[in-house]
Structure 1
């Protein structure tokens, strides 16, 4: 146990040193030498050199071939893009989702893909207080329920291939076999939306649609959820049409141009 604790402290200190090096870069001081970094952080030159090599390998730093000076790497651009896009997505989607909730009187959610799970970023509860809502920050396995499945359906195939062969079930209706899931995903792509009845909670019905960005890549899924008795057969086409229209509007705001 003591070795584990000491190892943990060493690991944390290594992270702290790497962050101290990164934080020396500013808009005014965009490049540094190893000596500069050692002086600014107060760390020994050998320690700076060791941390810099790791940061270079991971793309968090770059080195000028002529001067040897160091600057922040493109990895920060990638990470910053993820953060900005996430903030941008919620800001642009929320007004549309509020209208969707008002029009359908259903619970409305927006989720994104996060390591084999669907992470909820937006939850708008129906005034009917159905009790079938997914809370902000809640994660659902990517194979369970309409919202998760619509996200998985439009991800690269390797995401499906990486899934475990055994699926946790929430109800007797939850998909538990890869073959069944694969067939469901093909149907989702054919129809452009997903449907689930009782997969996460018995008696709950959900419809979900994908959101795409300017690159034509999936960035999120949105869903409407309510109790089974609330969905009358004659009204279901209205719910699907309204959901798809909302998804198309959000995708358009994210820069997506539909190709016919």
Structure 2
């Protein structure tokens, strides 16, 4: 068996940890989480900072991912066939729905956002390309778990932890919910990941009819829902977008 390089494994562990920290992490927290001495961790962080992969907030001293990772990652995303095929369609989805549009793929135990079209208004928003969302509590994740057995196993294996008080955490309830997703061809969630926020998503299929991603919208509950249910026009817009991207990928299922 080929030997691995320990320093690279440790650096990768630090980067993965920082990827999940929204507001940055301090040296002690990072060292404790990756199981390394503070001196070793500080050396890793200093090297990663010199290469631009990590940044340190001068006021708080906390570390976060650096801009160099975004530059390297954009090369992967630009070459990603799914994202390339979905660019125009997700732009249209955001414009027609008035909400943020997302394209996600299953990655490890979550949903990797590979494309994000900001909501078409003047309010301040953050670009979320490259971030991870839960598989079990988001509409994107539920779609992936419903159509991809590997994503389902990853979601259940991660423990179905409560993100908010509305998150479905029971394995049986989660399984039944995914059956409904497959039956109707789309997923939704209300306040399961963020309070006051709802989302709708549908699967993107390739020429074999296999799920390769999910597309959806996210917005305030009062805009996405009507009478406690997702607005039919928004559901139709999301499904039309998913069908269009799937057709561009050669799927004949729809």
TM-score bracket, normalised by the shorter chain, equals: 0.5 to 0.7
1:196 paired to 2:162:
no
Determine if contact 1:111/1:221 at 8 Å carries over to the other structure. Answer: yes
1:110 paired to 2:103:
yes
Shift of 1:88: 1.3
Query: TM-score normalized by structure 1?
Result: 0.63
Shift of 1:9: 6.3
Residue number in structure 2 paired with 1:148 = 141
1:8 paired to 2:6:
yes
Shift of 1:130: 6.8
Q: CA deviation digits over 1:217-239, x for unaligned, max 9?
A: 00000111110111352881111
Alpha-carbon separation, structure 2, partners of 1:152 and 1:134: 25
Alpha-carbon separation, structure 2, partners of 1:206 and 1:10: 37
Alpha-carbon separation, structure 1, partners of 2:106 and 2:198: 21
Matched pairs, number: 183
Alpha-carbon separation, structure 1, partners of 2:245 and 2:8: 46
Alpha-carbon separation, structure 2, partners of 1:173 and 1:201: 9
Residue number in structure 1 paired with 2:63 = none
Q: CA RMSD in A?
A: 2.9
Alpha-carbon separation, structure 2, partners of 1:134 and 1:180: 32
Shift of 1:154: 0.3
Alpha-carbon separation, structure 1, partners of 2:247 and 2:215: 14
Shift of 1:107: 0.7
Shift of 1:127: 2.7
Query: TM-score normalized by structure 2?
Result: 0.65
Shift of 1:200: 0.7
Residue number in structure 2 paired with 1:67 = none
SS in 1 for 2:80: helix
Alpha-carbon separation, structure 1, partners of 2:198 and 2:248: 28
Residue number in structure 2 paired with 1:247 = 242
Determine if contact 2:207/2:252 at 8 Å carries over to the other structure. Answer: yes
CA distance change for structure 1 residues 9 and 225 in 2, over 3 Å: closer, same or farther?
closer
Shift of 1:140: 1.6
Residue number in structure 1 paired with 2:252 = 257
Alpha-carbon separation, structure 1, partners of 2:252 and 2:153: 29
Residue number in structure 2 paired with 1:172 = 165
Shift of 1:253: 0.1
Shift of 1:149: 0.6
Residue number in structure 1 paired with 2:24 = none
SS in 2 for 1:214: coil
CA distance change for structure 1 residues 216 and 7 in 2, over 3 Å: closer, same or farther?
closer
Matches within 5 A, 1:13-24: none
Shift of 1:194: 0.1
Hey, which bits of structure 1, 4+ residues long, moved more than 4 A? Answer: 9-12, 83-86, 129-134
Q: Which runs of 5+ in 1 are unaligned?
A: 1-5, 13-82
Determine if contact 1:110/1:123 at 8 Å carries over to the other structure. Answer: yes
Q: Work out which of the two has the higher radius of gyration on C-alpha atoms and give 1 or 2.
A: 1
Matches within 5 A, 1:51-70: none
CA distance change for structure 1 residues 131 and 253 in 2, over 3 Å: closer, same or farther?
same
Shift of 1:84: 9.5
Determine if contact 2:200/2:235 at 8 Å carries over to the other structure. Answer: yes
Determine if contact 1:165/1:178 at 8 Å carries over to the other structure. Answer: no
Alpha-carbon separation, structure 1, partners of 2:101 and 2:143: 15
